[in-house]
Amino acid sequence: MCGISGIYSKNDNLEFILNKFNQTLKNRGPDNSSIFVNKSNYFGMGHTRLSILDLTERGNQPMYDHSGNWVISFNGEIYNHLEIRSYLSKKISNKINWVSDSDTETILLANNILGFEETLKCLEGMFALALYNKQENILYLARDRVGEKPLYYYNKDNKFIFGSDIS
């Protein structure tokens, strides 16, 4: 299990807030704690990691796609991620240079090739994720069809906050 969090707010202390979120979520992911902040768009997200599939730091999050435009914070496991990798390689008729063995990277690249909605249709597993496009300043939140992984959100007073834990 991992912890994800994020905030849209005109607050100047996004790093401080996200680090506090990560402290709260440390029990969900003791192996790594990282944040991403885009000050110009008043957005940031955090991640606490419990390493399962890729035990190296290449699996740390928030993770960037190959273009550097998409950022993801992901909690869960995609059971069919190896099949998705094979499908993507066939779809683009090219060998893909994977950076990690993580299902997180699989989601990122699938999103680039297939788009967000088609990627969600492919995913079999338990998950909650936040996927942010830096260029377009768009945030997508999703969780598995059964809702096994938690994803809470708050939207009020020009603030949007989300996380794996309500606290």
> Which residues are tagged catalytic?
2
State the CB neighbour count (10 A cutoff) for residue 111: 21
Query: Quick one: DSSP state of residue 31?
Result: S
Task: Provide the edge-to-edge strand list for the sheet that holds 43-49.
Answer: 32-38, 43-49, 3-8, 159-163, 152-156
Per-residue tokens: 131: 């996927």
First to last CA, the chain: 17
